[in-house]
Amino acid sequence: MSPDHRVQSLRRKLAETYRLTEYLYTAPDGRMFTVTGVDDVDALLEELIISEPDSVEVRDERLPYWASLWPSAMALADEILTGGWLRPESRVLELGCGLGLCAAAASLKGSQVTATDYQPDALVFTQLNCLQIAGQHPKTEILDWRSPPVRRHYDTLIGSDLAYEARFFPPLLNCFDHLLAPGGHILFSEANRDIAYPFFQQLKQANWQCRRLSNIPATSVYLIMRPNE
């Protein structure tokens, strides 16, 4: 199936469940890309509220943050495209891919991308948006940060807007430790929220190196590396 036909097939599949909307992302070089997301995210939240208390969505508090395009994702995509951090064929893993803009940016750089999320439909949106932006979609898979895969390592980990709940900090650091290859690095964007401050403190306490690469209004992008690297 050609990329165009695959795009139309994925759009039809998603439209059966969601009312779709289009965001416009302008890359640093002026190229403009369409990112497809969910039009009424509040409706998804309402569905979660009325779900059965013992459903996996309620037990895990699967809030629909993935369904929108956030400024932190655009800031990280900018850094991926311009920062020179990714090499062609480098192994890249995105944690919490959401709509897939950053995975698409990494694909444009020629990297071998694996996009992960805890929400199955986020992976479908990621496939769609990577096809629309990069003409190909990455490998996608469900990833629970509490149980990262063993014996798999990546040159670069990328993630945006991940430090929004304190309960995620230890499993996120666990993923960093298990999944990052020796000599690798992490590109991480955060919306400068107060709640994320303890996350960076935990990074420091674990002797991870963390350097701010850019700071645009309401968003910072960081380079994170293992201790002593």
Between 227 and 156, name the one with better pLDDT.
156
| 3-state SS, residue 124 | helix
With bands split at pLDDT 50, 70 and 90, how would you rate the model's confidence at 57? very low
pLDDT digits (tens, 9 = 90+) for 15-32: 999 999 999 999 999 999
Domain range spanning residue 196? 3-225
The answer to whether residues 43 and 96 touch, using CB atoms and an 8 Å cutoff, is no
78: domain CATH number is 3.40.50.150
**Structure token pair of residue 229:** 């690297």
Using N-to-C axis directions, what is the helix angle for 120-134 and 3-15, rounded to 10°? 150
Residues in the chain: 229
pLDDT at 41 over 80: no
Q: Please state the pTM of the whole predicted model.
A: 0.91
Domains held by the chain: number:
1
